[in-house]
Amino acid sequence: MPQPRRHRAPLIGFALALVVVALGVWKASFVAGASDAYGYVSEGDLIAHGRLTVEQQFVRTLPWPFADWSFAPAGYRPATERGVIVPTYPIGVPLLMALFQRVAGRNAVFYVVPVLGGLCVWMTVLLGTAVQRPLTGLLSGILLATSPIFAVELMAPASDVAATSWWTIALVCALRDTPLGAAAAGLGASAAVLTRPNLVLLDGVLAGFFALPAINAKSDDRRRAIQQLALFGATALLGGVLVAVINDRLYGAPFRSGYESFDALFRWSNAAANLDRYPRWLLQSQTPFIALGLLAPWLVRRHAAHDPPPLSRRGTALLLAFAAVVCVSYVFYRPFGPDEWTYLRFLLPAYPALIVLAVAVTIAAARGAAGPRTRADAFAVAVCALVAVWQAREAIHRGAFAARAIERRYVDVGHYVETMLPADTLCIARLHAGSIRYYAGRLTLYYDWLQPRWLDGAVRELAARGYDPVIVIEAAEEPAFRDRFGELNTLGRLDWPAAAELASPVRVRIYDPADRERFRRGDRITTRQIQPWTRFR
């Protein structure tokens, strides 16, 4: 198989990136539902309107404990100032969403992740080209694009694909080995830290990449290496400084984030569960092929005398160290359920590096075993093609392209609340607490923060203040809701017909507390059917 010419590889990779963007736009959820999607999209909406806070002064006079938290949907928390909530998610992706919204309207926020996904695939092509050769880059781009976790996250308006894209840009620019490349690598790292600050240790990996030549090189080369290190350090520092300023403004201290404290999230005891789950999820969703990259150091040592070498020594060291730090960053993180494989998204920034090294090892091994270069390349392409096809089938099987059909319930319910319920409606909800705010503009009470004995009392208090409380809950949430509130509250039993119901794709019911007494008197309660909103994409 003929090797793609070096100057054509970026163009072919760019065409592949456009396909990824088109697939993302075609199949992405385009919904601000649940916690992550609502959190990022609504934060972008706040920034587009020039603020990062939401005023809720009325909560200061509510009688139940944690009233300020109960009016903070997932993705938000009370600010240091009472009566105000602030977003908990890093500002990187919402900043881009705000820009897209200001330029092309509110719905344009959902184009951010597909565009960054395409950029990430293109950068992976360039990364593979820099580490070995154009064929490596193209095969790596295809394998990233078909990766199940990449496909799943391409469909969600969140930060995982964005962080991966920025870090891959930083790696590509670092390997250019020029002052401009060093500065651009620092800017890419800054954007990545703004997107996911907990991976700031990766700045140290890149700094080490620039520092080693400055230590080991001769005088003329050392000056150039020191210049590159200084340029990278200056531009990479911007992201950390901005994160510290925003943290201080929103959460009261430069090193305090919107998440839980460090010692609550990271513990030594978490290592055993994570070392069982992440490797297993990785091999199950990617096949053992992705582990071939671990053989890259052996390949470099074995062919150290070759000119040109089959694999860049500096590039191999950088990519392996980078992937290792990403993985170690989550070894001690709070573990998730044994079957919650989608949390591989945390490791996604390591995927381009691991995939490039796996492809590079495959190509080099094929050349060593299959003889002539053309035959060896054809063998490597066949292996990667089989892996890509398997990954694509696995992505479909794991529901990567079903997001829009499933997530549209948030839009349907939000539109119903906006158009069919009174303006003074206040929704008591959990999963829908954020989306109802976004799509219907109604206040919501996040019932996870409502103490078990307070449901009836909160409804009475809110009704006395002029609100019309309703309970919005999915069928899967009802058992836990009854367990939490049913013993101490009559409304917690949900023992009367719903006022409205969405039947599919997920059953969602709206219970009006005022209907309970009518039902107990013998009145008939008619349940309206919530119809799909036809204007939804």
pLDDT for the residue numbered 167? 98
Last residue of a domain, one of 386, 401, 416: 401
pLDDT for the residue numbered 299? 76
pLDDT, one tens digit per residue, over 56-82 is 999 999 999 999 999 999 999 999 999
In a domain, 535, yes or no: no
- Cα(225)–Cα(182) distance, rounded to whole angstroms? 10
- Cα(363)–Cα(379) distance, rounded to whole angstroms? 8
The two three-digit tokens of residue 411, written as one number? 């839009």
In a domain, 325, yes or no: yes
In a domain, 1, yes or no: no
* pLDDT confidence bin for 125, thresholds 50/70/90: very high
In a domain, 175, yes or no: yes
Place of tokens 């392409």: 381
pLDDT for the residue numbered 1? 46
Last residue of a domain, one of 377, 401, 425: 401
Looking at the chain, the whole-number percentage of residues with pLDDT higher than 70 is 94
Q: Are 64 and 465 in contact (CB under 8 A)?
A: no
Mean pLDDT (the chain, rounded) = 92
More confident residue, 39 or 214: 39
Q: Which of 58-67, 80-89, 103-112, 296-305 has the lowest mean pLDDT?
A: 296-305
pLDDT, one tens digit per residue, over 419-465 is 999 999 999 999 999 999 999 999 999 999 999 999 999 999 999 99
- Cα(425)–Cα(412) distance, rounded to whole angstroms? 17
Residue 337 predicted with pLDDT over 60 = yes
- Cα(535)–Cα(411) distance, rounded to whole angstroms? 10
Q: Are 408 and 537 in contact (CB under 8 A)?
A: no
In a domain, 509, yes or no: yes
- Cα(123)–Cα(473) distance, rounded to whole angstroms? 42
Nearest Cα to Cα of residue 29 among 121, 112, 118: 112
In a domain, 375, yes or no: yes
For the chain, the domain total comes to 3
- Ramachandran quadrant class, 399 (left: phi over 0; alpha: psi -120 to 50; beta: rest): left
Looking at the chain, the whole-number percentage of residues with pLDDT higher than 90 is 81
pLDDT, one tens digit per residue, over 363-407 is 888 876 655 677 888 999 999 999 999 999 999 999 999 988 899
Q: Is the domain of 351 the same as that of 230?
A: yes
pLDDT for the residue numbered 368? 67
Q: Is the domain of 433 the same as that of 500?
A: yes
Q: Are 437 and 444 in contact (CB under 8 A)?
A: yes
- Cα(313)–Cα(300) distance, rounded to whole angstroms? 6
Q: Is the domain of 244 the same as that of 311?
A: yes
In a domain, 4, yes or no: no
Kindly write down the DSSP assignment for every residue of 465-511, as one continuous string.
TT-EEEEEEEGGGHHHHHHHHTTT-SGGG--S--SEEE-SSS-EEEE
Q: Is the domain of 233 the same as that of 337?
A: yes
* 483-492 average pLDDT score: 96
Q: Is the domain of 395 the same as that of 413?
A: no
Q: Is the domain of 417 the same as that of 374?
A: no
* 31-55 average pLDDT score: 94
* 169-177 average pLDDT score: 95
Q: Is the domain of 162 the same as that of 22?
A: yes
What are the backbone dihedrals phi and psi of residue 468, each rounded to the nearest 5 degrees, phi first? Answer: -115, 90
In a domain, 536, yes or no: no
Q: How many helices (H) and strands (E) does the chain have?
A: 22, 9
Q: Are 190 and 163 in contact (CB under 8 A)?
A: no
- Note if the pTM is more than 0.85: yes
* 73-94 average pLDDT score: 95
Q: Is the domain of 192 the same as that of 326?
A: yes
pLDDT for the residue numbered 370? 55
* Sequence-distant (≥ 6) Cβ neighbours of residue 243 within 8 angstroms: 90, 91, 193, 194, 197
Q: Is the domain of 59 the same as that of 176?
A: no
Q: Is the domain of 230 the same as that of 124?
A: yes
pLDDT for the residue numbered 438? 97
What is the domain extent for residue 261? Answer: 10-33+97-102+109-129+136-401
Last residue of a domain, one of 356, 381, 401: 401
* pLDDT confidence bin for 213, thresholds 50/70/90: confident
Q: Is the domain of 259 the same as that of 366?
A: yes
pLDDT for the residue numbered 308? 58
Q: Is the domain of 18 the same as that of 73?
A: no
pLDDT for the residue numbered 223? 86
